[in-house]
Structure 1
């Protein structure tokens, strides 16, 4: 679920250390997991002793900060022992978090008061977050966070519209550390609540064997069809997206299986890697469980998460439909068949042995969309369903398996906590200076009031911020700085934030920094830039559909029932025809003229004017029917 630009914690270099270090890390991870569970369930209220949520945040931050310095070395690579300064930093990080837990009631009684103790712990917390951000995500994000902090301090020195009041270092440090508009605010609430709960759900489902079931189900459904391994990759990544919501994790988990299968069948390495990269990136955009950024988006919009998931449904279907058609046409073009029958599990046997794994997903979906339970509690109820399933199954998980699920969730939460804290520092700096309003005015002025140019500027900003930066951080910055300008220009809030979400996610596919592509290319042994080109071609719908749902938010299911159905159907037809035009293959190779005609028809189909839709449908239908009559006419 952590949508960072880095590889999962398990794939990164860690301190080798001694046995005591592993035990300490496990203890910290389990404590962080349990603290998040207690926060989500709000256990203290059941004992008539409620505590502030900021006290939970402080404790969780402290545990995650301490774990971070033990997990991530100061320099890339593996070491045989933990140096003394990392132990000191781990203790400092824990103290910075625990101080909030212990002192918060006193802080509430004297808000805004600046004391030496608060300044000291504020400076300590900011430095801890910056160093952990450098270790976990690299220098670019550290520089960006530092720029926002320096702007909060020295904004009075900036010229023109960027000039602000500025603040003292003491006020900046105290505000960033203790204000609920910074580290202890909305991002922490989402990360330690909803994002954590869904990560725990995925870890529990994997621990009980759910991962194997979804892999076998994908193989049984798609393995024998034309280009079977590629279709297994598409379906498998979509299914795994409901468990992890992380593009990087999806590539590692499913790509290690599907990419070698695709290569053995005859797919070019770059194409095999691109299929997996695009399919895995889409997992973070596919309801019911989207990436961590979608939960943050729901908080920005002040709407239930289910509304975000419903709005994302049609664009996600268009994304996977076009990708599926792409891989099918590629298989036809290359003459690739499905997997041999002896390599494909029987669908009946897979369902007979694994259908109970669908029950937790059914519980999750029912809680979210039928009973209207909050996402974090829905995910915990889904986790309880997973545990009940495990206890009732013949291959029940051991206590060790469950312990590893708790430990693994805690370790994955380290990156979530670090990116949440870094994003909190950015939001705090913006709130302290009022930069959000200023930047919106700059965007509107630069676009000259033209919505199309404003959208292009926002997309460009997303691409630039996405270079070497986690998706969540990129989204949060633009949600604060650019979304108000889009909304002021007449874009609906849901469409504005979904536009930013899509282009933030596309950093996984867009060069030069395209993490999902690099991971997939490494597995496939292909050239990264060639793989990136193939990925952008296959994922073209993700670059186009945001502009379409801004123009017609019926694609986000925001129109009447008829408008929603028409938008969905014409979108599916249009992007299907566009896939044929780009691939240059239908029943046989297509000439340039035919491809241009089909591309124009696709453009007419995806517009939101029914006259153009009718013309596009007539052209596409006539051309495809003509092509279907025989390969001799395809040129």
Structure 2
């Protein structure tokens, strides 16, 4: 066996032989989610507990994980070893047993018969090993620490001391209870996430993702630094449905990063812009990432409420990135994209039918108020119909392509389902041991009940916990561990959850472990750390704006309409000023004193007038001072032009 491949000469079955079974399981997973979203069992007169459905999805995903993921992550699988075939069979049988016997077995958790705790223990261990194969050791170690706490919590001194649990009862509780593996994260992954990834996959199959890249190129390619603006726009559009910042970098970065480099932009900055744009896609409505749907469930509010709250911060995030891309291009004299590389308007307009599917999605979500999974499936149906009828650039998908999309979706969601199931273990420990209350109390005590101190502490915790973890896993941990402490000191619940989501997401571009930035750096062949530092600069707004909407919820559209309107306008001016300061350019290169002046006025303008007593004055001074600085720079440039003409 070589380092690069697994089982080339070893025992087991060829992956090619097992391919029909693997693809069939993946398709079954997707079809099961579709049937549940459309309430097919109810129409057939069949009654199931939701946990039975979640277990069926997990059985498919866990089996797929052992059939497709090698034990050593650096290897390539060509044959499936007999041990992994045994683990795949054990996964299907044990989780299938839980799904079949759930109505009777769930009642026996606390009496601890072997029929409950033995399969519970097997499933827990299988989930952790599959998670290790999919994501690495970081999340597994964190979950293992929580499970050890559940068993030996009384050994922890002080306020964090917990109630120790019987290991047999704990195994049954984690596998059967609605607060364990079959809990809220898995319910969202099994319904909403599967259907939205199906929608995103169909966009790729039908040419929709290419259409959005072409549209971004047509709109932005003719302007200075057009390649960078294309990356910002295309990655923002695609990232809202990709479900992963790293997947978005890989999906769009292979096109945008070489294009930016060809225009003369440094490799590490090209990678940084792509990483920041891709990361922000999961903060951008109307679709956002999987975490937003989970947030809706945690807060027990409609998804539309989350979307409206996230809208202004996401727009400010992209406005800041777009302005920096424009000003950097001006400072470095980056030319527009060559006309030969820009698609014609006529060819792009033929793909406008792809926009219809998004219109259907938005209509179903916000007007009909359908469940997100049903809205996504309706949009997918609209996409299939228009693509089969009209195609894009002379290419129409076949029905076989559509059916293959079902299988591709099943493969794509395996990692998310494993993360969600494992996240249920954390939530289960928090509930059964009382750690959730104890940790909230401890964080509030450490912060001295001071919201500012607690916010700073929480930001550090969010970034540290987020290092090396997938997006969904980051949010589940933070929503369970940090958000309750913020709410405890009087912060608006939706603001608290958005705060931890933002800072958890920023771990994707914050060194020393910045997964999205490092993925972009590998594509750009740029230094990883330099890319991460540049990404932090381009993504500066995401470190500042969450603090502002915590102190003044006007930026998440909570408050009086006049206050909200003024806050949005002044924040926009503040973003422009700070972006100019960081780029070192406005209408011409800025001197260091001018850059500092722009930054100070920008920060003052960013702070909403309702943030604290006297904030209105800082707002007025920031906006007024910033406008004067802008005017002076424009006047200075005109004088230089006049002098050069003379």
- Could you state the TM-score of these two structures normalised by the residue count of structure 1? 0.96
Residue in 2 aligned with 1:60? 57
Provide the C-alpha distance between the structure 1 equivalents of 2:167 and 2:602, rounded to a whole number of angstroms: 56
CA–CA distance in structure 2, aligned partners of residues 558 and 316 of structure 1? 16
Per-residue CA deviations over 1:403-450 (Å, capped at 9, x if unaligned) read 221111000111011101110111111111010100011001101111
Does the residue aligned with 2:241 lie in a helix, a strand or coil? coil
Equivalence for 2:148: 150
Instruction: Name 1:92's counterpart in structure 2.
Output: 90
2:315 paired residue number: 317
1:633 shift after superposition: 7.8
Per the alignment, residue 613 of structure 2 pairs with none
Count how many residue pairs are aligned between Structure 1 and Structure 2: 622
Tell me how far apart the structure 2 counterparts of residues 429 and 309 of structure 1 sit (CA, whole Å). 30
Cα deviation, residue 597, structure 1: 1.1
Q: Describe the SS at the equivalent of 2:352.
A: helix
Instruction: Report what 1:630 is aligned to.
Output: 636
Kindly report which structure 2 residues correspond to 1:423-572, keeping only aligned pairs within 5 A, or say none. Answer: 423-572=423-572
Cα offset for 1:13? 8.3
Compute the displacement of 1:111 (Å).
5.7
Q: Equivalent residues in 2 for 1:95-494 (5 A)? A: 95-108=93-106, 110=108, 112-351=110-349, 353-394=350-391, 395-494=395-494
Deviation by residue 1:313-366 (Cα, 9 ceiling, x = unmatched): 000000000000101111111111101222211234311x11111000000011
Structure 2 distance, partners of 1:474, 1:355, is 36
Please say if residues 143 and 422 of structure 2, whose CA atoms lie closer than 8 Å, have aligned partners that are also in contact.
Answer: yes
Instruction: Find the aligned partners of 2:6 and 2:130 in 1 and give their Cα distance.
Output: 14
Counterparts of 1:349 and 1:135 in 2: how far apart (Å)? Answer: 43
Does 2:626 match 1:620?
Answer: yes
State the alpha-carbon separation in 2 of the partners of residues 460 and 47 from structure 1: 51
Matches of 2:369 and 2:6, distance apart in 1 = 41
Would the aligned equivalents of 2:27 and 2:410 in 1 still touch at CA under 8 Å? yes
Among candidates 36, 40, 45, match of residue 37 of structure 2: 40
Structure 2, unaligned runs of 5 or more: 9-13, 610-615, 641-646
Distance 1:478 1:345 in 2: 43
CA contact (8 A) 2:33 2:190 kept: yes
Cα offsets for 1:190-231 (capped at 9, x unmatched) = 111111111111111221111111111011000111001100
Alpha-carbon distance in 2 for matches of 1:561, 1:32 = 45
Query: In 2, Cα distance between the equivalents of 1:484 and 1:566?
Result: 30
Deviation at 1:245, TM superposition (A): 3.4
State the 1:114 CA deviation.
Answer: 1.6
1:72 aligns with 69
Matches of 1:376 and 1:268 in 2, distance apart? 42
Distance 1:93 1:633, change over 3 A: farther
Cα distance in 2, alignment partners of residues 249 and 141 from structure 1: 19
- TM-superposed CA distance for 1:458, in Å, is 0.8
**Structure 1: 4+ residue segments shifted above 4 A:** 12-16, 108-111
Q: Give the conservation status (yes or no) of the 8 Å contact 1:626–1:633.
A: no
Distance 1:480 1:456, change over 3 A: same
Q: Report if the CA contact (8 A) 1:13-1:78 is conserved.
A: yes
Which structure ranks higher in relative contact order (CA pairs < 8 Å, sequence separation ≥ 6)? 1
Note the residue ranges of structure 1 that are not aligned, 5 or more in a row: 1-11
Give the conservation status (yes or no) of the 8 Å contact 2:549–2:555.
Answer: yes
Aligned to 1:4: none
Q: Deviations over 1:152-194 (max 9, x none)?
A: 1111222121222211110110111110011111111111111
- CA distance in structure 2 between the aligned counterparts of 1:260 and 1:307, rounded to whole angstroms: 38
Q: Tell me, what secondary structure is at the counterpart of 2:507?
A: helix
The offset of 1:15, in angstroms, is 8.0
Mean CA deviation greater in 324-333 or 17-26: 17-26
TM-score scaled to structure 2, two decimals? Answer: 0.94
Q: Distance in 1 between matches of 2:446 and 2:369?
A: 42
SS in structure 2 at match of 1:621: helix
Cα distance between partner residues in 1 of 2:35 and 2:161:
44
Q: Distance in 2 between matches of 1:532 and 1:161?
A: 37
Counterpart CA distance in 2 for 1:268 and 1:606 is: 30
User: Any conservation in 2 of the 1:233–1:276 contact (CA below 8 Å)?
Assistant: yes
In structure 2, C-alpha distance between the alignment counterparts of 1:259 and 1:134, rounded to whole Å: 31
The separation in 2 between residues aligned to 1:323 and 1:298, in whole angstroms, is 27
Confirm or deny: 8 A CA contact 1:15 1:72 kept in the other structure: no
d(CA) in 2 for partners of 1:289, 1:135: 29
Deviation (angstroms), 1:598: 1.0
Alignment CA distance shift 1:15-1:586 (3 Å): farther
Change in CA separation of 1:472 and 1:381 when aligned onto 2, cut-off 3 Å? same
Separation (CA, whole Å) in 2 of partners of 1:149 and 1:435:
12
Report the counterpart of residue 5 of structure 1 in structure 2: none
| 1:3 alignment counterpart | none
Structure 2 contact 106–177 (Cα < 8 Å) conserved: no
Partner of residue 599, structure 2:
599
Aligned equivalents of 1:15, 1:630: Cα separation in 2:
69
State the Cα distance separating 1:105 from its structure 2 match.
Answer: 2.2
Match of 1:579 in 2: 579
Instruction: Output the CA distance in 2 between the equivalents of 1:311 and 1:334.
Output: 36
Of 387-396 and 498-507, more deviation after overlay is shown by 387-396
- With over 3 angstroms needed to count, the CA separation of the structure-2 counterparts of 1:56 and 1:359, relative to structure 1, is same
Equivalent in the alignment of 1:9 = none
8 Å Cα contact 1:197/1:380 also seen in 2: yes
Against the structure 1 CA distance between its residues 348 and 552, is the aligned structure 2 distance closer, same or farther, given a 3 Å change threshold?
Answer: farther
CA spacing shift, 1:633–1:319, aligned 2, 3 Å: farther
